[in-house]
Amino acid sequence: GGKAAKKRAVVAVARKLSVLLLTLWKHQRDYEPFHCHREAQAE
SS (H, E, C) the chain: CCHHHHHHHHHHHHHHHHHHHHHHHHHCCCCCCCHHHHHHHHC
Q: Domain total for the chain?
A: 1
> Which residues have a Cβ under 8 Å from the Cβ of 32 and sit 6 or more positions away?
38
Q: In the chain, what percentage of residues exceed pLDDT 90?
A: 40
When the pLDDT of each residue in the chain is averaged and rounded to a whole number, the result is 80
| 36-to-6, 9, 16, 26, 42 alpha-carbon distances in Å | 30, 26, 18, 19, 10
Where in the sequence is the domain holding 21, given as residue range(s)? 3-42
pTM for the structure as a whole: 0.52
- Asked if the model's pLDDT at residue 35 lies above 80, the reply is no
